[in-house]
Chain A
Amino acid sequence: MSDTPEIIISVRNLKVGYGENVILQDINFQVECGEVFVILGGSGSGKSTLLKNMIGLYTPLEGEIWIEGTNLVTAEGDERRSLLRKFGVAYQSGALFGSMTVLENVRLPLDELTALPDPLKELTALAKLKLVGLAAAVQKMPAELSGGMQKRAAIARAMALDPRILFLDEPSAGLDPVTSADLDLLITELAHHFGITFVIVTHELASINKIADRVIMLDNRKRTIVAEGRPAQLRDSNDPWVHRFFNREPDAVASGLHL
């Protein structure tokens, strides 16, 4: 690897919110190619809103989001479409299409967006499903899968077109520790073996320590990034909110318990 890592995503002076209601402002950060980048924050800190702006579902109030040299905020038409194909998104609930089998879900982007011959589409989809460990469930309907399996299927679908970036929204929310650890392992392997860049929104401390290369932390009181760095650096942070978060200390004032 060269000394100056390739920057794949660059967010500049971003301000996000809904109409008059500003949720985050002065957001600046860069994601390096091939790293696992984690967006961290408490409940209601705007993590998911930031992610939805980064994947183009919402338009930011101000600022730029550069992905591989194209500004997502201003891109239109073909330019926007080809930019959208550079990343895959796995949503918090999986967002699998309930009327299709798992295999059909993974095949869908291949069917709609490539001209591959049918046997190759099937081979590609099956290989992705085996990669995420869902070989036994290809013919099942999403409703028959457990939470962890649904998330894996969502990752397989997000990977169907070999994107360079994968956005994951709360991948380990609601999973047991073993399933969650399995998912962490899958993420690290995909990042290391295939050079996929991950942008993950989460608040699971255990998985951040295991998978994250770099972390930014959002705070809903200051409405901006309050800390940035490697997980170990953040753990030793002097900022009281970051310190409390990483050491799981309660916020007595906010919780309303004055014992």
Chain B
Amino acid sequence: MTAAAQNELNSDLQFGPAGFARVVLRGRLNARTATACWNDLEQRLRGVKLQKLEVDADGLEFCDGGGLALLRYLSMGLMTPEATVSVHGLSTGLEQLFHGFTLDDYKALRPSSEVKCHPLPEEVGSGVRQAASDLREQVEFLGNVTRSILPTVMDRKRMRWTEVRRVFETAGANAVPIVSLVSILVGLIIAFESTQTLAKFGAQIYVVNMIGIIMVRELGPLLAAVLLAGRSGSAFAAEIGTMKVNEELDALQTLGLDPIRFLVVQRMMAAVLLTPLLAIYATFLGVTGGVLVAFSLGFKWSLIFHQLTVSLKVSDIIFGLSKGVAFGVIVSAVGCLRGLQTQEGPSAVGVSTTRAVVTSIVLIVMADAVFSVLFFVLKL
């Protein structure tokens, strides 16, 4: 026992004849002294064949929950499985408390440490079923939204344009600084990295052509959409998810208001109008980053501008913009759907938010691939 614990509790273990032992406890039995005493007894009683163990608690001045646990542990025979154990000398109040929790209670309440293990086919099956039902829900949701969007937009009273304006501001205007920073840096990095390879062929000026096409056709809309998913798709899921947890969605329904008309249409409307704008902005800054690199290599402004105009066609810009619209639909629809799907419980909103961002990004990249194939076939 440690010295500090010894000052508070005096425990004495005596061995008698014929497998008899006696523990005398005097002083204060609290969480700290009980720990020291338990370690001490464990060491000295391990492997000893005992018939009978007597615990004398007559000299205890104080005993807390941890101390009681030690007395119970001893009396349940958990330390000396073969011996019969008796505890004497507890004060009346303590005695009552001591008998309030018995070995039967312990056996009944002890959690089992078995971990349930499902066979592989079962796991795969349930995974596929879940994925299928998720897909079905997404399609259903998209159908619902498509059905509601026109009547809601046409009905000026129901549309709640102020809400659209609010989303436009939080998801769009407030995102400008971060979109600027990320796009200009991505433009700079790509241009800078590729000039080193292009220099080997003496084709450094083509970095402008390259950054123009990359940014307008691919990265501009993609960056805008990924940032929108991270900033606003997650916010949609969290807002609507919190409303669901707080029974606000139930309240809407009992008032006869459809959550899709009331909450989803506005957010999708704002996102669809917003994403192409953000995409144009991201493209412009990304190209600026590339142009800055070209300028720092010593090329003239007029040459850089000429290269840009010959490499880009109007169809490229249309291509980029149409992607922006599609990505806006994906991010807002997924964010709202995940919000509406929020389950109950404390971590539910967090789960919805994560799922919104992950699903959005996966779908954005998939849609991007589909667009590339489509435009290749259409020879745009």
Contact = CB atoms under 8 A, between A and B. Distances in A.
Contacts of A124: 65-66, 68-69
Interface string B63-92: 011101110110000100000000000000
B70 A120 contact: yes
B93 interface: yes
Contacts, number: 88
Contact of B34 (A120, A122, A143): A120
Interface residues of A, number: 32
Contact of B347 (A99, A121, A129): A99
The binding surface of chain B is classed by DSSP as helix
B35 A160 contact: no
Nearest to A137: B109
Interface residues of B, number: 32
Contacts of A139: 111
Contact of B31 (A116, A135, A193): A116
Given A99-B346, A130-B101, A143-B344, A117 B65 contact: no
Contacts of B30: 162
Given A120-B70, A162-B64, A143 B346 contact: yes
Contact of B109 (A116, A121, A135, A194): A135
A126 B42 CA distance: 22
A71 B100 CA distance: 37
Interface in A131-185: 131, 135, 138-139, 142-143, 159-162
Contacts of A117: 35, 38-39, 42
Contacts of A217: none
A99 B31 CA distance: 27
B38 A127 contact: no
Contact of B101 (A98, A99, A103, A127): A127
Given A114-B31, A139-B111, A162-B64, A98 B69 contact: no
A98 B343 CA distance: 14
Contacts of A116: 31, 34-35, 38, 66, 69
B68 A127 contact: yes
Interface string B15-41: 000000000000000111011001100
Given A114-B31, A193-B93, A138 B109 contact: yes
B125 interface: no
Given A135-B105, A143-B344, A123 B35 contact: no
B116 interface: no
Nearest to A117: B38
Contacts of A131: 100-101
A126 B66 contact: no
B178 interface: no
Interface in B126-146: none
A15 interface: no
Nearest to A141: B345
A160 B34 CA distance: 15
A98 B72 contact: no
A197 to B, nearest CB: 15
B109 A126 contact: yes
Contacts of B108: 135
B260 to A, nearest CB: 27
Nearest to B78: A119
Interface string A96-126: 0011010100000010001111011111101
Contact of A123 (B106, B344, B347): B106
Given A115-B32, A120-B66, A122-B110, A127 B78 contact: no
A203 interface: no
A129 B73 CA distance: 17
A47 interface: no
B65 A98 contact: no
A193 B35 CA distance: 25
Given A119-B73, A119-B78, A160-B65, A126 B101 contact: yes
Nearest to A138: B109
B199 interface: no
A3 B344 CA distance: 53
B97 interface: yes
A128 interface: yes
13 contacts: A98-B346, A103-B111, A114-B31, A114-B32, A114-B35, A115-B35, A117-B42, A124-B66, A126-B105, A130-B100, A142-B346, A162-B64, A193-B96
Interface of A: 98-99, 101, 103, 110, 114-117, 119-124, 126-131, 135, 138-139, 142-143, 159-162, 193-194
Nearest first, the 5 closest Cβ-Cβ pairs linking A and B are: A98-B346, A123-B69, A162-B64, A120-B69, A127-B101
Interface of B: 30-32, 34-35, 38-39, 42, 64-66, 68-70, 72-73, 78, 93, 96-97, 100-101, 105-106, 108-111, 344-347
Given A121-B69, A162-B66, 5 more contacts: A110-B31, A117-B35, A126-B105, A130-B105, A143-B345
